[in-house]
Chains A and B, each alone.
Chain A
């Protein structure tokens, strides 16, 4: 009982250490640079406490839930040996998690506004909404496709850097042909697709696959799925900007 309590205390202390840089930065800029008092100090203390407890629980749940299920499913698919179902799972995971991602919804709305301001999209509510929805569907499809390619790469043992660099060359080429208003959105869309729950799950899936296939190394072959998931949306969004 005491040992359990002590280990919990140690984990909360670890979360405080994770949080310390933010507190220092905000404290320094507020007091030294902006020279202003802290409003609602008790509210801030309460918030920091919540963040610490939340982070501790999240890391605990990561080890208990997200990592094991990702690896268990990777092993089950490897045992089953059905390429179709494995790739279908990868696609659904990418598509499903991205389509409902709140950060993406926000970015898509802003993008539609930017395009409307630039005169590419008509200045009415319906046109903008249609554009934003199309953009979201495009990004979700692209994340699904990226995980399919990423999983296929692990099975084949292709080197990740050749595919990634090839992808970046395509990004650079498309930059010169896509409408300039969409370029910033496209670059940013790569970053917003990978949410806090998706990342551990996808990482565990990749590492699990690489360790259950003979001749694959979990470090060299297991990582790289997230990289594809952040690159594909850039390509697809610029293509969307050129077509739509």
Chain B
């Protein structure tokens, strides 16, 4: 009974969330395009599936995984778990926190529905060159590195903007290389920054940031709690560009080896 109430609550919230999109689509279809889209019935059914699917997905997460994940984030940052923490915390006291940050960042990104959508579409339009799992795992590794580094930043209290600016500098260097060796991947790499942080990742990562900032002496949740999301959207771009660069390098090396073998055979 309680579950049914929860499902209907979340269902209404999801519907309100999708409503503006539906209004914009219906308005432009009816007033501007003025032509029925092909397979209208199938599309409407698809929207109902999306609504129902997102609702069940969110209810399930809120019933099972979010409470546990949030409690864990609190417990791992709790002085009771960490033992005696000195008034000025050393960053080495929090090793389990970084491990948890990386693991939960990776795991939630694998389950992120919007990343699945982008990976499926990229696989379709690249004719299979971009593999769905390859992209998802690469992005997840980026998020893992980003959230772990972001936790380190909260622990040490170093300024957020230096990390972000250094990340952008790395991104610019990588782009400069990638446009010559792996140009078609660049827009996709940029897109993977934005898609990683939605339904599953944001609540757990935000709880971790808040937990850290409120238990570490000298940190304020309102000031230092922000910024983890930014790390989680910056690092996937770096990891996807890095992966593209690596595959291009391996392909070049293979070609060079093949050419050499052919040369020795003749």
A residues sitting closer than 8 Å to B (CB atoms) are 18-19, 21-22, 24-26, 28-30, 33-34, 36, 38-39, 43-69, 72-73, 76-77, 80, 82, 85, 89, 92-93, 96-97, 99-103, 110, 113-114, 117-118, 159-161, 164-165, 168, 171-172, 175, 181, 183-185, 187-188, 190-201, 203-204, 207, 211, 217-227, 229-230
B203, chain A: closest CB distance, angstroms: 9
Given contacts A24-B107, A113-B222, A187-B230, contact A65 B46 (CB under 8 A): yes
Verify if B113 is at the interface (C-beta below 8 Å from A): yes
Q: From DSSP, what is the main secondary structure of chain A's interface residues?
A: helix
| B249 CB-CB contact with A under 8 Å | no
Q: How far is the CA of A218 from the CA of B187 in the complex (A)?
A: 11
**Residue from A30, A61, A62 within 8 A of B48 (CB atoms):** A61
Which of B32, B165, B193, B220 is the one whose CB lies under 8 Å from A230? Answer: B193
Interface size range on B against A: 35 or more
Interchain residue pairs with CB less than 8 A apart (10): A22-B104, A29-B76, A60-B49, A66-B47, A117-B222, A194-B114, A196-B54, A197-B17, A227-B187, A230-B193
Given A25-B107, A62-B46 in contact, is the A227-B64 Cβ separation under 8 Å? no
User: A65-B47, A183-B160 given as contacts; is B60 within 8 A of A47 (CB)?
Assistant: yes
**Complex interface: chain B residues within 8 A of A175 (CB):** 161, 164-165
User: Across the interface, which residues of B come within 8 angstroms of A165, CB to CB?
Assistant: 171-172, 175
Residues of B within 8 A of A172 (CB): 165, 168
Does B100 reach chain A (CB closer than 8 Å)?
Answer: yes
Q: In the complex, what distance in Å separates the CA atom of A161 from the CA atom of B230?
A: 19
On whether the beta carbons of B179 and A73 are closer than 8 Å, the reply is no
Which one of A34, A67, A69, A187 lies within 8 Å of B121 (CB-CB)?
A67
**Which one of B3, B17, B58, B72 contacts A26 once the chains associate, using CB atoms below 8 Å?**
B72
Interfacial chain A residues near B125, Cβ < 8 Å: 207, 211, 218-219, 222
